[in-house]
Structure 1
Amino acid sequence: MEGSVNSDNKSKGVGYQDGKSGGKMQNVTMGLEVFDCSICSNPLRPPIFQCSKGNSICSPCCDKLPESDRSAVQRCYIMDRVVNNIFVPCKHGCNRKITYYNKDAHEGECLIGPCVCPVSGCGFVAPTTALLGHLTTLHKLPTTPLELFGMFYFPVQPGSQVLCSEYGRLFLLDVVPLESFGHAVFLGCVRPETPQGTVDVSLCFSSFEGHFQASKVEIKHDGEPKQCLFVLPGRETKVVVGMKICIGYFDNDELQEEEEKEDEDMCEYDYDFDHEEEVDDDYD
């Protein structure tokens, strides 16, 4: 079952006809409200249930029903199949294949959605692909390849750099000297204005023989995109930090699956970098 819509307006949607000899696709116009929960009006997503009156309801609303009404509710497998094959376009114009119930979550994380430049005082807004050129040309910041969910090493030396993941996600790493104290390390997330997920940052470093420190910082989807990861006392700048950045999502398996594969249609830049998993010899 597949289909596509003619518009991203909620009053229009997609229909599908399934022939015995194979799938038949045909664009139709229909009201997407029929794929919303009859109680909370949110888009239906599996598992879907049908109440005694024949209305389709989502799992959270089903769990809130009185015990007397819940006993008459049945699982609606045909609606599960239907909503899993209702596809709508992204309002930002990317080529992702988006299910209707994941539309809002996807658009909040879409890499070609509007993102604000992370440099303080700069109000430039553009997709991440355009922001990369903006950061490297206007702000003249160096770029470093980053493997999400993998360890990345950097020295605690004053300066800024743009971390580029293989999926187009960008981060701004700042090491700021603090007068008569040490250095503060900041990480800024270049992300859409309404992100749906969190960024988990794991850190480890040793500042002197016999010392080892490990910590974890969570940059929440509804919090500030730039956070101080840690402060290193003293003026020592030969400390090398190991950092791992992980992206998490709330109840959205589709977004997690999208991060695990590259989409050439969305990425205009070719990050032809050699990934290094070990510390550079210069920092040994």
Structure 2
Amino acid sequence: MAGASISESSSEGIGSSRKRKLSPTSSGNGTKKLSTMLFDPDSLHCPICVEVLTIPIFQCDNGHLACSSCCPKLRNKCASCALPIGHSRCRAMETVLESVFVPCLNSSLGCTKNISYGNEVAHDEECEFAICLCPVKGCNYPDMYKEIYNHYNRNHSQRSRRETICCGIPFSAKMSISDKILIKREHNKSLLFAVQCFREQYGVYVTVSCIAPPAPEVGEFPYHLSYTVDGHTMIYKSPKMKMVFEVSSEIPQENFMLIPHSLLRGDVLEMEICICKLKKE
């Protein structure tokens, strides 16, 4: 069965007709296939919880549907006719659901992927075209991660070499704890990295994050942090940097180095950082 696409408008009129419209599309080998356009996307939602149906889908003997989560809540009695439900699968509706695809939520920004219906949000969380926010306090300019990089260069960059880093090459980071954030640019990959510190009861939490979605096209970035004072050196190694759509003001719960107050000297932190690009085999 060919992939179906959802349309919420039609020149033939919505509301006056809820029938399927079949139109031929060309496949890769030049043959014609039928694609289905559904005028009523709600037909793919569970009538009980009104959430998108997911496989397995169950039906009673009268053909009424319910999702697998609702059947136990109904004590396996159909909400429409009270017949048993939760034992017989509706294979036909499962087949329809598997065949329905919709454009990515970021299609207007350039994403060309078609996503199985109901999985749009999950895809959006790792789509390379997802919207990120500028990490500069008070700015919050929204755009794709590469455009956030360009925006930062145009509007916030100090144009200094110390601001630019290269993956795989260690660099020194000197920052004021009270400033809380230090932005670094990776020119080759058009990426912004945020070094953040949080002064709390037990010391200063330090973490590094990348302003980009966790998309395969962006990649993964292990990183090393080292802090040395009075001959004492602390080292933190992270196998996978956190990818974020926006910087957070919350204390990190994971992926951080904690520098105790006894090893702090004033308000300035001087660290050695190395951000690497994980190579896929």
Q: Answer yes or no: same fold by TM over 0.5.
A: yes
SS at match of 1:63: helix
Residue 112 of structure 2 corresponds to 95
SS at match of 1:25: strand
2: CA distance between counterparts of 1:104 and 1:75? 26
Taking every aligned residue pair, what percent have the same amino acid on both sides?
A: 23
SS at match of 2:183: strand
Q: 2:131 aligns with which of 92, 95, 114?
A: 114
**Retained in 2: the 8 A contact 1:86–1:99?**
yes
Q: Which runs of 5+ in 2 are unaligned?
A: 25-30, 79-83, 176-181, 214-221
Distance of aligned partners of 1:137 and 1:127 in 2 relative to their CA distance in 1, 3 Å threshold: same
Q: In the alignment, residue 149 of structure 2 is paired with which amino acid?
A: L
SS at match of 1:101: coil
Deviations 1:109-143 (A, max 9, x none): 54434332111111322222311211233222746
Q: 2:51 aligns with which of 32, 42, 60?
A: 42
1: CA distance between counterparts of 2:223 and 2:104? 32
Question: Is 1:161 aligned to residue 184 of structure 2?
Answer: yes
Distance of aligned partners of 1:172 and 1:97 in 2 relative to their CA distance in 1, 3 Å threshold: same
Q: Which runs of 5+ in 1 are unaligned?
A: 193-200, 245-274, 278-284
The within-5 A match list for 1:135-214 is 135-140=152-157, 142=163, 156-158=173-175, 159-162=182-185, 172-174=193-195, 185-187=206-208, 190=211, 207=228
Distance of aligned partners of 1:213 and 1:24 in 2 relative to their CA distance in 1, 3 Å threshold: closer
Which of these two proteins has the greater Rg computed from alpha carbons? 2
The alignment's TM-score, normalised by the length of structure 2, stands at 0.57
Equivalenced residue count is: 229
Distance of aligned partners of 1:242 and 1:76 in 2 relative to their CA distance in 1, 3 Å threshold: farther
Question: Is 1:134 aligned to residue 151 of structure 2?
Answer: yes
Distance of aligned partners of 1:116 and 1:175 in 2 relative to their CA distance in 1, 3 Å threshold: closer
Distance of aligned partners of 1:107 and 1:224 in 2 relative to their CA distance in 1, 3 Å threshold: same
**Retained in 2: the 8 A contact 1:49–1:59?**
yes
Residue 225 of structure 1 corresponds to 248
Residue 27 of structure 2 corresponds to none
Residue 28 of structure 2 corresponds to none
The alignment's TM-score, normalised by the length of structure 1, stands at 0.56
**Retained in 2: the 8 A contact 1:157–1:175?**
no
Residue 264 of structure 2 corresponds to 234
Q: In the alignment, residue 90 of structure 2 is paired with which amino acid?
A: C
Give the C-alpha shift of residue 82 in structure 1.
1.8
Deviations 1:163-182 (A, max 9, x none): 6997x8x663225698xxx9
Q: In the alignment, residue 74 of structure 1 is paired with which amino acid?
A: S
Q: 1:78 aligns with which of 83, 86, 92?
A: 92
**Retained in 2: the 8 A contact 1:13–1:32?**
no
**Retained in 1: the 8 A contact 2:6–2:101?**
no
SS at match of 2:46: coil
Give the C-alpha shift of residue 98 in structure 1.
0.9
Distance of aligned partners of 1:202 and 1:41 in 2 relative to their CA distance in 1, 3 Å threshold: farther
2: CA distance between counterparts of 1:219 and 1:115? 14
CA RMSD of aligned residues (A): 5.0
Give the C-alpha shift of residue 39 in structure 1.
0.8
Distance of aligned partners of 1:174 and 1:65 in 2 relative to their CA distance in 1, 3 Å threshold: same
2: CA distance between counterparts of 1:218 and 1:24? 44
